[in-house]
Every structure is written in C-alpha cells, then in structure tokens.
Structure 1
Amino acid sequence: MIKRDYNSYTVGQIVAGNFTASQIFARYRIDFCCHGNVPFIRACQNSNVKPENVAKELDELQDRSAGGTYDFVSWPLDLLLDYVQKIHHRGIRINGPQIAELLDKVVLAHAEKHSELLQVQKLFHDSLNDLLSHLLKEEDVLFPYLYDLFNASASGTKIERFHCDTIQYPIHVMELEHSGEGERYEIISKLTNGFTAPEDACASYRLVLLQLKQFEAALHEHIHLENNIIFPRALQLENELVM
C-alpha cells in the first residue's frame, strides 16, 4: 500500500484527485464541497473524527480500482460546464419538484407523529426555490463568460473584461449560496437521522428519504465541481487572458 501525505492537501483537492473519496468523506460528514478549501487535518477535527482513520480508508481506496468514476480534473472547462448544466442543473429542475410533491404527501400523513418532517419540508422547499434562482444566475450571467474564457484559451486570444470587471464577485456569491445549501442539508440529515426511516415509516416515507439522500449526494458533486475545479480554473484563465 502506497500511503499518501493527506496533511498537505485540502479535502477538495483529495476529492478532485479521486471523486470516490467523496463517499468516505460523506460517511464521516466531512464537507468536501462547500468547504473544500479546508485542510484535511482541520476538516477531520471539525467532524470529530481521527485523521489517521480517514487516511487509512483513503489509502485503501487508492489501492482499489477507480473504475466507473470520472476523472473530472482532466476534463476541459467547457465539458465541465456542460456536465454541470445537463446533469446537475437539469437534475434539480426535474427531480426537485417530484421530491417536493412526495414529501408534501408524506408530511400530510406522518407529521402528526413525526413533527420533524415539517421542518424538513420547509427546508427542502426553501432550498428548491433558492436553487432554481441560483441556477439561473449561473446560466445567464456567469457561465456564458466562462465559456468565452475557455474559447479564448483554446484559440490563444485575449478577452475583454467581465461586465462587472472580474468574475471574482459572482463566484464569491455562488460560493456563499453553496455554503448555505450545504448547511441546509446538514440540518435535514440531522433531523432525519442520516436519512434513516423510522420503524413505522410507510413505503412513500422510505422512498422520499432515499430521494433526499440522493439529491444531497448529487448536490455535493455539483458544488464540488464548481468550487474546487471550475471556479479556480476560470479565475486562473481570467488572470491570464483578460486584456
């Protein structure tokens, strides 16, 4: 087994190198997406887990085949933007309302005995509303310029400044909104005991918790790709190419 010195990496860098590591971090509730810039040691301490235990699992992961995972770091910027929009943005717009509809039915049937569902319902509806607004800001304002940066880089040309001088400002806003969503789903996870159905849960109750867990996992990948790969790369291109 080749051991890696994880202490010199942030959790975002570790996941960027092998996205399967996200499964280990998710199990320990280590935030690799919204706070991907946190050093490995500190992230483990924040989640009250021993760094050596997490490192051991990461080393074992490196020894196993990473087949079936995407090497996002090697992807060009335009492909990353396409993937985020066609997989994650589209997924939120399709899956979000369906989950909300089922959650409303489950709340109606079970909230009298499981009052925490009322808070879960409000958190998810608020999240969906905020996410839909967030997606539009990315698609209408930020991403078109990121495509322009990629095209300028590919053609070896310079590019005019972003309309508000630099993409640092909208990226900062996007990252703040990402952090808000990360905190929101952390609360949902705690309210549902890690998306675990109670013994008296019906099939719909169990299904909606599974869907919420999958929605959170997809959101983590979505935020990770933007915070830890797309945004840093775009800022570097802006620094190199803007006239």
Structure 2
Amino acid sequence: MEKKQWNENWEVGQIVATDYATARVFAGYGIDFCCHGEVALEKACEQAGVSVAEVLKALDALEPNKEVAGGFAAWPLDLLIDYVLKIHHRYIRRQGPVTLALLEKVEAVHGEAHPELHELHVLFVESLQELEMHLQKEENVLFPYLLELFDASEQGRYIEQMHCGTVANPIRVMRMEHEGEGNRYHRIAELTNGFTAPADGCNSYRLLMQELEDFVRHLYEHIHLENNLIFPMAVELEEKWVR
C-alpha cells in the first residue's frame, strides 16, 4: 500500500478509512475518529487540545498497512457487513456478559473504596441493553436491505425503495445511537482514569480495566466501519440502483 501524505484538511474518518493503522494514533491523542469522523483533522486536534503538527508527524511515522491493500476501504459492502456481523456483533454478545460479571465481582470487593464503580456498573449495563437493540435493528432491518441493494448493483438491476423511505432514515438512527455509545464510553474512560486500575486494585481489577479497554476498542472499530464506510457506500448505491 502506498504511503499517504496526510494534511490538516483530511477528515479524520477518511484518514482511518484509508489506513486503519492511523486509528492507534488518534486513540492515543484522544481524537474521535468514529462518531465524529466527518471533522477535519485540524478541527479535531483543536477539540482534543493537541497540536495538529504533532499528530501529522505521528501519522507520517506510521508504516502503511500491508495486511490488505487499501485496508477496509478496499472491501466491498457485503464483506464489510459480514465482518461487522461475525466479528463485532458476536464479540459484543460473547464478551459483554463476561465483562459485566467481572465488573460485578470487582464492584462487590472494591465498591466501598471506589464508589465510581457503581456508576461504571450502571453505564455498562445500559450500554449492553442499548447495544442489543442496536444490533437487532441492523440484523433485521438495515443490513438485509443493504445486502439486497449490493446484490442488485452487482447484477446491474434496480430495486424498490426501502420501506423506511430511504436508507438515510435508519442510518440517521444508527448514527445517533453510535454517538450515544461514544458519549457513554467517554464517561467510562473518565471514571476509570483511562482504563487504569487504582494502586490498591487487585488482579481482577486490572483485568477488568483491560477488558473494558478492549471492549471499547472493538466498539470504536465497529462504529468506524459503519459510519465511515458502510453507510456512505449504502447511500451511494441507493442513488444509483433504487427507482
């Protein structure tokens, strides 16, 4: 993959869509590349309180992603949807309850000394409940139509408009829910001091912080793939292949 020359006018979501390795840089500087991926790098750096020159230097120091030419941006719509379903939806349903059980164990032992664990518990339970409803909307409403739309484009035929009127309507809802989760996990990061166990935290406490950080990392990739790749592709295909 040819190395890109980034500048402050690139949208952060566009940068990550082009080379997902850049997500590590943005995460390190606290720059939101998924829920607000449409923001230009200069503005995103200003909002995060970091130097755009420093971030550009870190981006330029990255080696280009050699795993897949073009990264996720080179994948067709059906493959991206399949990846989200089989990697991210399964991960949330498998790992969410495991992390919650660990959180409840840590809260029972350390909750008195660290009352922030109680708010953390409430937030994580809310997240799992909201995410399950979100996944069901994708699986039962949005993704089946997007796959039908993709198949139509491959076969060069038109299809009828979605029962919601346009794909922009459910996409708008999905984006709003993504932003809600982003805000929730921003608060979780604050409560946990950036997913860092306190000095008196036991091994389970440290494991919990690692599990939560991994959960957020997966969630942000999930949101990035949808907001910055799947949804724009869907809108473009609808313009071409829906009567």
TM-score range relative to shorter protein: over 0.9
Post-superposition Cα deviations, 1:33-73, rounded to whole Å, max 9, x if no partner, equal: 00000111000000000100000000011xx2524468111
Unaligned runs of 5+ in 1: none
Whether 2:9 is the aligned partner of 1:8: answer yes
Post-superposition Cα deviations, 1:181-239, rounded to whole Å, max 9, x if no partner, equal: 00110110111110011111111111011000000000000000000000000000001
Matches within 5 A, 1:3-152: 4-61=5-62, 64-68=63-67, 71-152=71-152
Asked whether the equivalents of residues 149 and 159 of structure 1 are also in contact (C-alpha less than 8 Å), the reply is yes
Post-superposition Cα deviations, 1:45-104, rounded to whole Å, max 9, x if no partner, equal: 00000100000000011xx25244681111110000000000000000000011001101
Asked whether the equivalents of residues 6 and 55 of structure 1 are also in contact (C-alpha less than 8 Å), the reply is yes
What TM-score do you get using the length of structure 1 for normalisation? 0.96
Asked whether the equivalents of residues 84 and 222 of structure 1 are also in contact (C-alpha less than 8 Å), the reply is yes
SS at match of 1:7: coil
CA distance in 2, matches of 1:164, 1:65: 40
Whether 2:236 is the aligned partner of 1:242: answer no
CA distance in 1, matches of 2:6, 2:188: 33
Q: CA deviation at 1:32?
A: 0.2
Q: CA deviation at 1:144?
A: 0.3
How many residue pairs are counted as aligned between the two chains?
Answer: 240
| Identical residues among aligned pairs (%) | 52
CA distance in 1, matches of 2:167, 2:229: 15
Asked whether the equivalents of residues 20 and 69 of structure 1 are also in contact (C-alpha less than 8 Å), the reply is no
Unaligned runs of 5+ in 2: none
Q: CA deviation at 1:5?
A: 4.0
Whether 2:162 is the aligned partner of 1:192: answer no
Would the alpha carbon gap of residues 3 and 79 (structure 1) be closer, same or farther in structure 2, given more than 3 Å must change? closer
Would the alpha carbon gap of residues 3 and 96 (structure 1) be closer, same or farther in structure 2, given more than 3 Å must change? closer
What TM-score do you get using the length of structure 2 for normalisation? 0.96
Q: Which residue of 1 aligns with 2:220?
A: 220
Q: Which residue of 2 aligns with 1:165?
A: 165
Post-superposition Cα deviations, 1:131-163, rounded to whole Å, max 9, x if no partner, equal: 001000010000000001100010010111001
Task: Give the root-mean-square deviation of aligned CA atoms.
Answer: 1.2
Asked whether the equivalents of residues 196 and 209 of structure 1 are also in contact (C-alpha less than 8 Å), the reply is yes
